[in-house]
Structure 1
Amino acid sequence: RGKMEEREVHSADGILGHLEALEAEAQEAAVKQEEQEQQQEKMARLQARVQELRLQRDELQAKVKLQQQGQLGEGGIVLDPGQPRAQAVLEWKIKSLKSLLEIFYLTGISAKRSKHGICFSISTAFEGTYLDSYHLELLIQPQVRIHHHSIPIFIPLEQLSKKYLQTNLRSFLALLSHHLNAYVGRRYQADQFQEHFAEQLEGSLQRNSLCNLLVFNYKVAREGKSFLLNARLLYRDPCSTLPSEAIVSCTAEASAALAEVAAAHSALYRQIPLHRAF
């Protein structure tokens, strides 16, 4: 009887183990089925999103095509095919210019509509000091071109216009602003230097119109004596306010110590603005 009871116990254990295994398999199958259903739902959502994006793409392509044909007005409204194509092009140009204004607002460039097109105002400054403003009026039809301006003659406006005006108005305005700010920055330095250090100058500071070449003589004190140095500052980069070349020389009979002073001044002029180098 004891052996029979033992066999019954083992049999019961085997059945329970088998049931547990079946339950585990059933649970695993349920988890897999749930994951498959989730994957199917995700796939359905992705397919719906793809279809939505395709519809948006087709709509945008249609709008671009209409705009290129001059049949799409402001706000995506389809114009009468008989309406002149120039009107649609003009609306597109005005919209593009408005976008540019938002970009350039904090860079000193502003604009307003004029009778003939768009009038830009380019403000210049150096180290936080407001200097001058220059004006540029553009006609935007039938193509973008300069109507009036107050840009100095030595600023390469024509070259910039030929290179960028028709293809990249943003680059045109940005580069023009860089040229103007660099010019007034160099001029400001020369003016400040001449005004505040006139006593150290021997004669007047010589400059060209673009202020990218400055030549001056100035006195330095050394061992109780006054010596004369000659400085020649050349700004090869028209958009820079620091010279690319600064040559400071002294007389041939000057001492080695004075030659060292001249070399130090030469390095200093290339690193900081002229009026702050003294």
Structure 2
Amino acid sequence: MVDLKPLKREEWRTPVECLKEGVLSHLNVLEMEALRLSRKQQLSLQQQSRVDDLRIMVEKLRAQRDHLKARAQSTLSLQQLKAMVGQRKEVCDDDADGDEEGHSESLQLHLSLLMAKRAQVKDLLQGHHLIGGYDVTEASRGKGVCVSIATAFQGHYLETYNLELDVARTVRISRHNIPPFIPLEKLAQDNLQTDLREFLGTLSKHLNAFAGRRQQVCLIQEVLKGSVEVMESNALFNMVVLMCTEPGQKGTAVLCTLEYSDLTRFLPTKVVIESEDKTLPTTPKWKEHQSLLLETPAHTVLQALKRKGQIV
């Protein structure tokens, strides 16, 4: 038997209250469902955005792959084309009466080979231009580069100097074989961090000028031995004193002092002529010689004077 207890006054609910409570409960359920759908839609949009980003990345990687594959195939095809041209040439040599179609195919192979060579040379020139015209190789397992700077004078190659740069964080010089009297530290302070090409260009000027000054002294000692004597020179060859003799019964000795205040040049900035004969440096002949020494390498001027009999 069910025990029916009378409801208290505060527990009584009118039909309107019951209806209101049901509506609010239903609205609450709808609100929760709407919130769940909104979150699901937002998550779906995020996933779609991520998928789009990944698709773009895949396209970029695919394009890079195709580019690298084309470069690899270009290099490979150059070798293959050389082999094919060689084989075709052997066939043509064996069969001198080859048909027109075979001749056309051979011409096409030659044309393809030339185009592949042109593309390869173009890539090499572009890379050479990007690194400023210097030979650069990887060093320290990719953490540095080694730059080679060749020196030359009057069309003849001389020494090659190497400079290893650490580029892991900031650019700095780790090793080198640059002569100690070249102002490498000052040049590095001026441009190494801000303009690498300017730094290498200035360093190259210093090295080539030094090599040029030293080569002139070496040529004077070799070619003009017995006529011109190198009385004094230093390690940097920015101060050179030469002694020659003017022809005559007395055989007047003449000292030519070459001063190089600009270390990026192989020509002197100042030439001083001295002699026991105090009037000799002021003569028009030696004034002209002095001007020539300022404009022309010393060994060339002295060789010309010896040929003309103006020094012995």
TM-score normalised by length of structure 2: 0.53
State the alpha-carbon separation in 2 of the partners of residues 167 and 254 from structure 1: 53
Name the structure 1 match of 2:135: 110
1:197 to partner: Cα distance = 1.1
- 1:246 aligned residue: 271
**Pairwise CA distance, 1:165:** 0.6
Match of 1:175 in 2: 202
CA contact (8 A) 1:250 1:259 kept: no
Q: CA deviation at 1:172?
A: 0.4
1:187-229 Cα distance to aligned partner (Å, 9 max, x none): 0001101211121135x4311111111012111214x552210
Residue 177 (structure 2) pairs with residue 150 (structure 1) = yes
What is the aligned partner in structure 2 of residue 88 from structure 1? none
Deviation of 1:234 after TM superposition, in Å, equals 0.4
Structure 1 equivalent of residue 297 of structure 2:
273
Equivalent residues of 1:219, 1:229 under 8 A apart: yes
2:151 touches 2:160 (CA, 8 Å); kept in 1?
A: yes
Q: Give the structure 1 partner of residue 305 of structure 2.
A: none
The superposition leaves residues 33-59 of structure 1 with CA deviations (integer Å, 9 ceiling, x where unpaired) of xxxxxxxxxxxxxxxxxxxxxxxxxxx
Deviation at 1:261, TM superposition (A): 3.1
| Structure 1 gap segments, 5+ residues each | 1-72, 78-97
Q: Provide the residue aligned with 2:288 in structure 1.
A: 264
The residue aligned with 1:201 is 228
Contact 2:165 2:174 in 1 (8 A): yes
Runs of 4+ that moved beyond 6 A: none
Q: Distance in 1 between the 2:184 and 2:205 partners?
A: 12
AA in 2 matched with 1:200: S
Alignment of structure 1 residues 1-150 onto 2, 5 Å: 102-103=128-129, 107=133, 109-115=134-140, 116-150=143-177
Is residue 2:238 matched to residue 1:212?
Answer: yes
Residue 193 of structure 2 is matched in structure 1 by 166
Matched AA of 1:246: V
Amino acid at match of 2:256: A
Contact 2:245/2:252 (CA < 8 Å) preserved in 1? yes
Deviation at 1:132, TM superposition (A): 0.3
Matching residue of 1:14: none
1:160 and 1:233, CA in 2 relative to 1: closer, same or farther beyond 3 A? Answer: same
- The answer on whether the counterparts of 1:230 and 1:249 sit within 8 Å (CA) in structure 2 is yes
The answer to whether structure 1 residue 230 and structure 2 residue 243 are counterparts is: no
Q: Which has the larger radius of gyration?
A: 2
SS of the residue corresponding to residue 177 of structure 1 reads: helix
User: Aligned letter for 1:251?
Assistant: E
Whole-angstrom CA distance in 2 between matches of 1:211 and 1:255: 26
1:56-93 deviations in Å (ceiling 9; x for gaps): xxxxxxxxxxxxxxxxx9xx87xxxxxxxxxxxxxxxx
Give yes or no for contact 2:216–2:297 (8 Å, CA) kept in 1. Answer: yes
Task: Look up the equivalent residue of 1:182 and give its one-letter code.
Answer: A
Cα contact 1:124–1:181 (8 A) shared by 2: yes
For the aligned residue pairs, the C-alpha RMSD in angstroms reads: 2.8
Q: Distance in 2 between matches of 1:232 and 1:253?
A: 16
The residue type equivalent to 1:232 in the other structure is: T
Helix, strand or coil at the partner of 2:288: helix
Against the structure 1 CA distance between its residues 255 and 210, is the aligned structure 2 distance closer, same or farther, given a 3 Å change threshold? closer
Change (3 A) 1:142 1:104: closer
Q: Pick closer, same or farther for the CA change 1:266–1:149 going to 2, 3 Å.
A: same
Amino acid at match of 1:151: I
Q: 1:253 to 1:213 in 2, by over 3 A?
A: closer
What TM-score do the two structures reach when normalised by structure 1? 0.59
Equivalent residue letter for 2:273: V
What do the CA deviations read for 1:206-259 (whole angstroms, capped 9, x no partner)? Answer: 11111111012111214x552210111001111111101011122245568x83
Give identity over the alignment, percent: 33
Aligned mates of 1:100, 1:251 — CA distance in 2: 59
Offset at 1:260? 3.2
2: CA distance between counterparts of 1:161 and 1:121?
Answer: 16
Which ranges of structure 2 fall in alignment gaps of 5 or more residues?
1-56, 62-123, 303-312
